[in-house]
Amino acid sequence: MAAVTSVMRVQQLLLSRVEDTLKPYGLTFAAYEALRLLAFSRRGSLPMGKMGERLMVHPASVTNAITRLEQRGLVERRLSPDDRRVVLATITPAGQALVREATEALNQASFGLPGLTAGQAAEVTSALRVLRVAGGDAAAGARMPAAARDRDGHAGDPDGSGVAHPDRQD
């Protein structure tokens, strides 16, 4: 019970800190995640269904987030030129600029983890990964994201964002 209570409380604290950092940019964490995912993709666009898979959220959540981002001119929806049944979400230049600024602010705020060293962040990530694998949320053999290994943004951070890049199989 103590472990569950601690994890739940830390989640609340982290989400609150991250959302406070993102508030001046008019972003929730969910919207930030969607923009960051699109910014990481090779073409700046992904099928909406694939976004749901990568963000591990229900398709309706992706649709709602993309609709709000589209209303702000940060994302556009387009039909895939390869398959007209597939809707792509594409980040706009304004979305690229905003997500860079928001990422910089999150980096300055240590992504809500002030005082944690890169090694400690890696330890927390490893400990939580055990729970994620046991719960079927993460594959046991999958590689830990670079940012989890090195929060200072060295390995696996070609754009200097300080955020790990999801697998680029788009």
Least confident interval from 12-16, 63-67, 130-134, 160-164: 160-164
Residue 29's domain comprises 25-108
Of residues 78 and 168, the one with the higher pLDDT is 78
Alpha carbon distance 154, 133 (integer Å) = 26
Domain boundary among 66, 81, 108: 108
Domain total in the chain? 2
Residue 75 lies in a domain: yes
pTM for the full predicted model? 0.75
Q: Could you tell me the CATH number of the domain that includes residue 62?
A: 1.10.10.10
Residue 125 lies in a domain: yes
39 shares its domain with 78: yes
Q: What would the pLDDT profile of 7-21 be if each residue is shown by its tens digit?
A: 999 999 999 999 999
36 shares its domain with 79: yes
Segment 100-113 shows an average pLDDT of 92
136 — pLDDT class (breaks 50, 70, 90): confident
